[in-house]
Structure 1
């Protein structure tokens, strides 16, 4: 395919990238799901892969995604030519034994990479030998060439559910009233996952629920994982990630699934979400409304003050009227609904970067319809940075002031269209992120702060005289 045909093909919404090289890739390989294991308190990944693979995956996801940091102590076989020729099963068996001696954990997750997959190492057989000795250990085939860290994440989660959660001793689990499992953002891939999961937990607890948030510092670790079968509801807050896991739990434990493709941002979306959850689990409606009322009083107090700036500074600053997004689908949908539905911006170019399974794309695209009454978005599925940039810069704009939400790589595109850039997706190298959140009630206020600080800063840099006018 020549260059011009690449550009022509990428110009239409809903374009699905063809196989081949990808410029400025926005995800890791399936082995990168080791970051999901690291995000579980009490779990340690053990990687069976080539030299440096584990280190590169974690530091790529943690380091250039808001400099999140994190505990990185990952045993690896670091297999080389010898294991390619003779197999690496014995080396893996030796590594597991050594790890058990020096690293204490509640759960060990063995992940295999490309090389053992190519040479045919029977990783499952090695791990099963340790399972028969009552070692809390599971295995997951996260071969790098089979998928991304998104699909690898689901592979690892299913391995933990099938080989660890489902094998817990004792009587069959009983459903606990008000206990819910939440499946949402991909740890480390999204720069704000820690703060976002904490806010999601906070608002669900606010209406009286007990929450298995499962990942990050807001979670109680593997105790929550062991409690998964007792939940009365699985909540999927994502266009597609986690949906297959929730459906699997529905098959095994009979747990119903509440799928909300858009993570709620702002009072309107969050209140609607909480009411829907409350109805699904039979929560006390008065308690639900009391919590929503308290949160909305605080939220709208701040929003009232923000409205003074938003309505009164249009002549001083060039406030954006069109939102453009380059991000994974979960954040792209949440941002689009908030800025279009609540703030009245027009939808521009929306590029979804995580290369989701073909089977999920129609449903994802449908979720972008009706961002506001009579206003639809038309997302393009495009993991290639070159194509994404062309989609943004080639859009005709008449009388629009654009803003761009994306990654560090969108700086050139933002400059080309004169748009402020707010980094919200991987890679993010101009943001240092600790506990910041952009979802729910409190997160929406932080999102508005960050967005319009960027807008004001760019306006004053372009026209310094506006700074004190």
Structure 2
């Protein structure tokens, strides 16, 4: 097989024109694609043996679980999420008199009946608005040696992406603490802390982080993956300062945490904005990490060669289908989702399959300072392919763009969410659910990243396509 990932030879056609004129604004968000900041309770429960404690109104925590962890791949609550997570369920009384006393009672009761290595207290809108001093409640427990931290995550502070970094920094500052090389041991230049996908919100985060850890270990690194079944839990978090560097594997999520670690521990970080899907992007990613970490290039290249040999062997068999079934396969695609997956998928679809980008929409409302990076990456999807990206949260407007995009004479393939099902049917296209909410997918360990994940993604894409054309 050739070194290039491209199966379709020749220059790519120019991307289809997109109707950029928005419909009349609704002044609301229809069919939401993120949740409020307290949704970062899943950041806590994604760490093995960590339990969130929510200080919020009745139903808030349950809604976060049902939206993000249930009707999104039916992932389940894990050890500390779902129905396990304690909540104060505060009412009008706490609005008037404050809820600090009720939170103190809940923490004490939780310590009696729940076994955890760390508790993370998160606040909702009510206590943040009325001014409950959460630090004053949690501090006495911390002074007694209880492993507990807190983060203010009221909904008006932003979505769960921003809440996620509030929680990671709270754990670092209040639990991990200072780093003393004489006491804690020297820094290991070949250990890396990985900051990447948003747990639970990203439907495939568990399998994806497993594959990311596997390929990084394959080139000779020791990996603190921090979240999910491959994490060692709080022991990994305690080891964060001893790592040689931090890796931010996303367009922007995790950058704030990495900068915080740089300031606190003088710990460098590498920012790789493209989630690697397929052999080409994964090889590029691993070589960039290896160069930053000063790894043995011979070992790195040997690992990449072995992975590519297996990967391309499967693709060699796949080309029989790809070449013979061309009349029923889509030529153009739309991607609608968070920036990490939208960018990674677009790179893969263009470079691996030769598909033409027709519409790219990023939905998590990334910070303004991150948008130039995202736009620049979409502008260079391939040497001869660029695409314009839109930033939009409202499904009403997103679906307007979908319906007004030209996909040519073939049915499109849409990479989106459950919210796109009806529009995909109207367009007579195929839909692959790749993000929140994914209510027609049951996800355990599935991955779409790296070498192995890309093969699974190919299976999913073309099983869906063949099924849609039947």
Aligned partner of 2:273 in structure 1 is 261
Q: Summarize deviations over 1:377-433 as a string: whole Å, max 9, x none.
A: 211111111111111110133345421000011012212222110111111111100
Q: Does 1:219 align with 2:231?
A: yes
Aligned partner of 1:58 in structure 2 is 65
Taking the aligned partners of 2:26 and 2:222, their CA distance within structure 1 comes to 44
Shift of 1:168: 7.4
Aligned partner of 2:284 in structure 1 is 272
Aligned partner of 1:467 in structure 2 is none
Taking the aligned partners of 2:247 and 2:333, their CA distance within structure 1 comes to 28
Q: Summarize deviations over 1:141-187 as a string: whole Å, max 9, x none.
A: 00012111110001000100111111579825521131001100000
Aligned partner of 2:98 in structure 1 is 87
Q: Does 1:242 align with 2:250?
A: no
Q: Summarize deviations over 1:269-326 as a string: whole Å, max 9, x none.
A: 10111111111111111111111111111000000000111011113xx111111011
Secondary structure of the residue that 1:180 maps to in structure 2?
A: strand
CA contact (8 A) 1:173 1:229 kept: no
Aligned partner of 1:374 in structure 2 is 384
Taking the aligned partners of 1:216 and 1:195, their CA distance within structure 2 comes to 9
Taking the aligned partners of 2:98 and 2:58, their CA distance within structure 1 comes to 15
1:69 equivalent among 55, 67, 76: 76
Q: Does 1:96 align with 2:104?
A: no
2:444 equivalent among 434, 455, 459: 434
Aligned partner of 1:174 in structure 2 is 186
Q: Does 1:414 align with 2:421?
A: no
| Cα distance change on mapping 1:20 and 1:140 into 2, 3 Å | farther
CA contact (8 A) 2:411 2:427 kept: no
Taking the aligned partners of 2:434 and 2:407, their CA distance within structure 1 comes to 23
Taking the aligned partners of 1:412 and 1:100, their CA distance within structure 2 comes to 47
Q: RMSD of aligned C-alpha atoms? A: 1.8
Aligned partner of 2:131 in structure 1 is 120
Taking the aligned partners of 2:145 and 2:178, their CA distance within structure 1 comes to 11
| Cα distance change on mapping 1:61 and 1:416 into 2, 3 Å | same
Taking the aligned partners of 1:82 and 1:224, their CA distance within structure 2 comes to 40
| Cα distance change on mapping 1:322 and 1:56 into 2, 3 Å | same
2:337 equivalent among 327, 338, 342: 327
| Cα distance change on mapping 1:129 and 1:20 into 2, 3 Å | farther
CA contact (8 A) 2:217 2:223 kept: yes
Taking the aligned partners of 2:422 and 2:149, their CA distance within structure 1 comes to 44
1:12 equivalent among 13, 20, 25: 20
Q: Summarize deviations over 1:10-67 as a string: whole Å, max 9, x none.
A: 9539x8x989410000011100100110000121111111111111111210111110
Alignment length, in residue pairs? 448
Taking the aligned partners of 1:83 and 1:394, their CA distance within structure 2 comes to 49
What are the equivalent positions in structure 2 for 1:2-41 lying under 5 Å apart?
11-12=19-20, 20-41=27-48
Secondary structure of the residue that 1:177 maps to in structure 2?
A: strand
Taking the aligned partners of 1:302 and 1:26, their CA distance within structure 2 comes to 35
Shift of 1:104: 1.6
Is there any run of 5+ residues in structure 1 with no aligned partner, and where?
Answer: 1-9, 461-469
CA contact (8 A) 1:43 1:107 kept: yes
Aligned partner of 1:347 in structure 2 is 357
Taking the aligned partners of 1:144 and 1:167, their CA distance within structure 2 comes to 30
Aligned partner of 2:12 in structure 1 is none
What are the equivalent positions in structure 2 for 1:188-203 lying under 5 Å apart?
188-203=200-215
Taking the aligned partners of 1:18 and 1:358, their CA distance within structure 2 comes to 20
Q: Summarize deviations over 1:69-121 as a string: whole Å, max 9, x none.
A: 12331111111111111111111111111111111211111111111011111
Shift of 1:373: 1.1
CA contact (8 A) 2:19 2:405 kept: no
Taking the aligned partners of 2:172 and 2:304, their CA distance within structure 1 comes to 34
Q: Does 1:160 align with 2:171?
A: yes
Q: Summarize deviations over 1:328-361 as a string: whole Å, max 9, x none.
A: 1110000000001221111111111111122222
Is there any run of 5+ residues in structure 2 with no aligned partner, and where?
Answer: 1-17
| Cα distance change on mapping 1:292 and 1:252 into 2, 3 Å | same
Taking the aligned partners of 2:179 and 2:375, their CA distance within structure 1 comes to 39
Taking the aligned partners of 2:409 and 2:380, their CA distance within structure 1 comes to 23
Aligned partner of 2:6 in structure 1 is none
Secondary structure of the residue that 2:72 maps to in structure 1?
A: coil
Secondary structure of the residue that 1:23 maps to in structure 2?
A: coil
Secondary structure of the residue that 1:396 maps to in structure 2?
A: coil
Taking the aligned partners of 1:302 and 1:12, their CA distance within structure 2 comes to 40
CA contact (8 A) 2:124 2:154 kept: yes
1:298 equivalent among 310, 320, 327: 310
